[in-house]
Amino acid sequence: MSLMETYKRFPLRIFRGKGSWVWDENGSKYLDCVAGIATCCLGHSDNALRRSLGKQLNKIQHVSNLYHIKEQEDLAEYLVEHSCADKVFFCNSGAEANEAAIKLARKYGNQVKGAKKPIIISAKSSFHGRTLASLSATGQPIYHKGFEPLLEGFEFFNYNNIDSFRNLIDKLESNGHSISAVLIEPLQAEGGIHPGEKSFFKKLKEICTKRKILLIFDEVQTGVGRTGKLWGYENLGIEPDAFTIAKGLGGGHAIGALLVKNAIDLLKPGEHASTFGGNPFACNAGLTVLKEIEKRKLLTNVNDRGIQLKEGLKNIINLFPEYLQETRGLGLIQGLVIKNNSELTSQEVIIDALKENLLLVSAGPKVIRIVPPLIIKEREINILLERIKKTLYKKLK
């Protein structure tokens, strides 16, 4: 095998896909509730996406950002018109988008607040990426091990806990530190599917505004309709100063973005860049995805299917109360939580679900994450629930 062993892969080679389904090389059919880890929001081999990208390849797929790119400008205009942002920077992934956000936060700290060593605050159990800066902003020590020393300038508080946040900033400021930004997910995804609480985020926003601290949302997994709103922050009743997106934006194609309000549009020519970021092919994919979400009214589907999924998972929990604790999440990002005192792990369930031709993914050792395409149908949710139930029966009964 010529590949570096950076992934522990399941014994499955996926050959093709259509809608919410994929087939392996032997022709076996699987219901895909991983969707490229929340990226294939229109499902697999979507007709609109295929047509649009085919036309784009017949025209041009990449030019440098040395020139004006119409597809990039069109996508940026759509994003600005449909969000709280005023300007957009394009890159290729969520980690890159968060890197851009971190650079912006440091520029803000240096230029606006006059800090030589500005601090960025993040939440414990957060996940912001695997590059060195985004890893340093991630509040999970398990991801840090072996990659020390991490970048300095990051501190952490307990998610959804305003007292923990207040205590941290009071401590930092009393010791002479300047806080430039808070980088936070509106719903912690990799950290166990923990939705943000409105009351917490309202107070967080008030404190950040009063102390001139940037509020930056990591919407890499929650953005582009995953929670039933186009953006995760819409569930919380506040607007961030900036937010990052990726995953679902390209419908399975590589693209990321940092969106900012005019007041913090601080990065100037030569201070940040991306060779492939905002290329015509990726931006065509992004604009097609967003327009199809709007055209097909997929946000309604996400909400309807999310309610159906949550109710179905609650019924499954009632069947296995000694093993399962709760379900949590929004829209079509749901977590089935295993009790901590149970020996059962999420990975065990995911491996056994493969035998029932169902693809799932974990969000930690005790949370089974369910992130199907946004196009998933009512009958497919019923199939999903039935296969989870069958997997658990065979495993536990």
Angstrom distance (rounded) from CA 356 to CA 391: 7
Tokens representing residue 313 in the block = 């998972």
Q: For Cα atoms 246, 161, 340, give the angle at the middle one, nearest 5 degrees.
A: 80
pLDDT tens figures, 268-309? 999 999 999 999 999 999 999 999 999 999 999 999 999 999
Surface-to-core class of residue 150, CB atoms within 10 Å of its CB (0-12 exposed, 13-18 middle, 19+ buried): middle
Angstrom distance (rounded) from CA 362 to CA 300: 26
pLDDT confidence bin for 1, thresholds 50/70/90: confident
User: Is residue 39 within 8 Å of 248, Cβ to Cβ?
Assistant: yes
Angstrom distance (rounded) from CA 180 to CA 160: 20
Report the predicted TM-score, pTM, of the whole model to 2 decimal places. Answer: 0.97
Q: Is 186 helix (H, G, I), strand (E, B) or coil?
A: coil
User: Is residue 253 within 8 Å of 284, Cβ to Cβ?
Assistant: no
pLDDT tens figures, 46-68? 999 999 999 999 999 999 999 99
pLDDT at 385: 98
Q: What is the DSSP string of 320-334?
A: -TTTEEEEEEETTEE
Q: Which amino acid is at 73?
A: E
Tokens representing residue 312 in the block = 């179905």
> Could you state, in order of their start, the residue ranges of all structural domains in the chain?
14-32+298-396, 48-295
pLDDT at 203: 98
> Was domain 14-32+298-396 assigned CATH 1.10.760.10?
no
Describe the strand order of the beta sheet including 367-370 as a list of residue ranges. 324-330, 333-338, 367-370, 361-362
The average pLDDT across 98-118 equals 97
Fold classification of 48-295 is: Aspartate Aminotransferase; domain 2 (3.40.640)
What mean pLDDT is reported for the chain?
A: 97
